[in-house]
Amino acid sequence: MAPEQTLILPQTPSFRLDGKTALVTGAGRGIGLAFSATLASAGAHVLAAARTTSEIGNLVSAIKKTGGSAEAITLDVTDTDAVRRALADQLPVDILVNNAGTNRLKPLTEVSEEDYDAVSGLNMRAVFFLTQAVVRRLIAETRGGSIINISSQMGHVGLGNRTLYCSTKHALEGFTKALAVELAPFGIRANTIAPTFIETPMTEPILADPAFRAEVLCRIPVGRVGRPEDLMSSLLYLASDSSSLVTGTSLRVDGGYTAA
């Protein structure tokens, strides 16, 4: 009888982020706050960026109380010169989470040039040039990295009164695919997370409308809107080495919205 051979089981790649620096924009509340907490809990040093100093200050204090590492960066990401100055004073960013975004719900016929500039300026232009600044340094220092752009289910479908928002999120999806191809030789990955409607301070006013909420729920097969906590594990996966073969994709955390 042949001796029994010892089976060596494969090891699950680590979700830990020790020694990594992560930059999260729009970090002061809602999804950005949840993302910052997730990355810090996995061992990353979190650069929490937002325009409101008090919000990110409170976030950083809370992270440090739990034993995490973080610092606040008061920053308007639409100011490209300020972005470059801020990054020059920081450690290289290994994980970039482009989370800051906005929306203005209007019919196409009522969208003004100011609306267009405000929404596209934050949702796409700011993402483009912040990513550029981070990538330039990663390439110069021959470091790999993970870029995670927070898109939306509206980057895959359309809905009335959202021509402006949908156009920016579809653009973000295309930008991310192109990034993935261009940056793969440098060991830099790029992906998006595309959530459904998430309960946050930004969405609270529209989701408080019973008629609108009912319309939304009819489109989500799982029967509920999301919470920031629903996105945290997805972010950790894309930020960590567990997703080392994943780039150029969109992780839809949408309760089946885009499948229906």
Q: How far is it, in rounded angstroms, from Cα 245 to Cα 187?
A: 10
- CA-CA distances (angstroms) from residue 195 to 24, 102, 151, 231, 258? 17, 14, 7, 8, 10
| Token pair belonging to 140 | 């110069």
Which amino acid belongs to residue 26? G
In the residue annotation, 116 being an active-site residue is answered as no
Contact indicator for 145, 188 with CB cutoff of 8 Å: yes
Q: Where are the beta strands (DSSP E) in 162-233?
A: 188-195
Q: Which residue has the tokens 């020694």?
A: 19
Out of 116, 169, 177, 237, the active site residue is: 169
Tell me the CA end-to-end span of the chain in Å, nearest whole number: 56
Q: Which residue has the tokens 């885009």?
A: 258
From the CB of residue 137, how many other CB atoms can be counted at a distance below 10 Å? 16
Which amino acid belongs to residue 131? T
Contact indicator for 178, 210 with CB cutoff of 8 Å: no
Out of 20, 106, 165, 257, the active site residue is: 165
In the residue annotation, 177 being an active-site residue is answered as no
Q: How far is it, in rounded angstroms, from Cα 131 to Cα 127?
A: 6
Would you please indicate which residues are annotated as catalytic (active-site) residues?
A: 165, 169
